[in-house]
């Protein structure tokens, strides 16, 4: 039996969340074409009884610590990398190689690194090969695997590559667990995902979702969540004319949550204005960042 921790690392949009979904086959990570959506480390487990348990962490994209919120994210990236048995350095095959290379090299990781060349469905063989040769020649690259996370192509190959570097050991978590994150967390992420889907570029980056109540009743689960925004004008946009938008948001989020929980859900959403939440340490704690 092999068991260990695997960290997925890469620039925003490299496809980390998509890979986690491909590996775990569940809606564990919020997927969005916009950058910087993953604010938390997501831990998901992939267990093959008697053979292996892989514990994956997703890291937020690498960004400038402009806000305190982002500083927190960078700290969590570093601590994640220090814990892992294997690091997956993920690169979009169409991305600037030098830039990725500088980033990967600057981490100076002590753990074995597998370069995961993602999105091979986007380019022809020649360009994929050139990129592969480039990364393979880098000192940090123990192995390179080419995948398409979106099309779930070569995922088994990646698992086998990880297993080569994983220590022998007993599972850390019960075999049928999927994650150590509370259900509440996923519910909040699903509401956030709908905000990304329904609203333009501005709104999602200025909102946070806090799930206040999660009560399992006989026939349904009652959930109350706050959507926190910074300005009254944002609240207005989220509400929409006569509350039209928030209603639609609630319906879409509820449908996803019901699918996820396999139960009927009563979802209540409130919008709250907190002008300074991004930079205020106290609020950061309150919202679990």
Ligand X SMILES: Nc1nc2c(ncn2[C@@H]2O[C@H](COP(=O)(O)OP(=O)(O)OP(=O)(O)O)[C@@H](O)[C@H]2O)c(=O)[nH]1
Query: Which residues participate in the annotated binding site for GTP?
Result: 10-17, 58-62, 118-121
- Shortest CB 108 distance to ligand X, Å: 21
The pairs formed by 206-215 with CB atoms below 8 angstroms and a separation of 24 or more are 206/230, 206/231, 206/234, 206/278, 207/234, 207/238, 208/277, 208/287, 210/286, 210/287, 210/288, 211/184, 211/185, 211/187, 214/183, 214/184, 214/187
**Residue nearer to ligand X on the CB measure, 54 or 223:** 54
**Residue nearer to ligand X on the CB measure, 88 or 238:** 88
**Residue nearer to ligand X on the CB measure, 107 or 239:** 107
- Shortest CB 239 distance to ligand X, Å: 27
Q: Which helix (H) or strand (E) holds 127?
A: helix 125-136
> In the numeric block, which tokens belong to residue 161?
């590559």
- Shortest CB 118 distance to ligand X, Å: 5
**Residue nearer to ligand X on the CB measure, 149 or 166:** 149
- Shortest CB 275 distance to ligand X, Å: 26
Bridge partners (DSSP) of residue 46 are 54
Query: How far apart, in whole angstroms, are the C-alpha atoms of residue 270 and residue 227?
Result: 6
Please enumerate, by residue number, every residue annotated as part of a binding site: 10-17, 58-62, 118-121
Query: How far apart, in whole angstroms, are the C-alpha atoms of residue 91 and residue 10?
Result: 6
Which residues would be at the binding site for ligand X (CB under 6 A)? 10, 12-18, 31-33, 35-38, 60-61, 118-119, 121-122, 148-150
**Residue nearer to ligand X on the CB measure, 6 or 261:** 6
- Shortest CB 23 distance to ligand X, Å: 12
> In the numeric block, which tokens belong to residue 35?
């950058």
124 backbone dihedrals φ, ψ, rounded to 5°: -80, 165
């Amino acid at each position: 039996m092999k068991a260990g921790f695997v960290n997925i690392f890469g620039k925003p949009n490299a496809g980390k969340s998509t890979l986690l979904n491909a590996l775990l086959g569940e809606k564990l990570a919020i997927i969005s074409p916009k950058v910087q959506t993953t604010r938390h480390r997501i831990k998901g487990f992939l267990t093959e009884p008697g053979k292996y348990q892989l514990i994956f962490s997703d890291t937020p994209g690498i960004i400038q610590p402009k806000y305190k919120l982002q500083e927190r994210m960078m700290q969590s990236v570093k601590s994640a990398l220090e814990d892992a048995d294997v690091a997956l350095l993920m690169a979009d095959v169409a991305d600037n190689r030098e830039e990725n290379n500088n980033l990967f090299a600057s981490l100076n990781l002590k753990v074995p690194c597998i370069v995961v060349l993602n999105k091979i469905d986007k380019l022809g063989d020649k360009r994929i090969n050139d990129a592969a040769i480039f990364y393979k020649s880098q000192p940090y690259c123990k192995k390179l695997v080419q995948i398409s996370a979106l099309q779930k192509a070569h995922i088994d190959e990646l698992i086998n590559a990880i297993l080569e570097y994983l220590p022998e050991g007993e599972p850390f978590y019960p075999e049928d667990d999927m994650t150590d994150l509370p259900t509440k967390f996923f519910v909040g992420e699903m509401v956030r995902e709908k905000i990304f889907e329904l609203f333009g570029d501005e709104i999602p980056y200025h909102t946070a979702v806090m799930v206040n109540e999660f009560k399992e009743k006989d026939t349904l689960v009652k959930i109350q969540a706050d959507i926190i925004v910074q300005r009254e004008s944002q609240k207005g946009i989220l509400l929409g004319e006569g509350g039209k938008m928030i209603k639609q948001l609630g319906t879409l989020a509820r449908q996803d949550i019901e699918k996820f929980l396999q139960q009927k859900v009563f979802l209540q959403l409130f919008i709250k204005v907190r002008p300074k939440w991004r930079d205020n340490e106290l609020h950061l704690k309150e919202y679990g960042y």
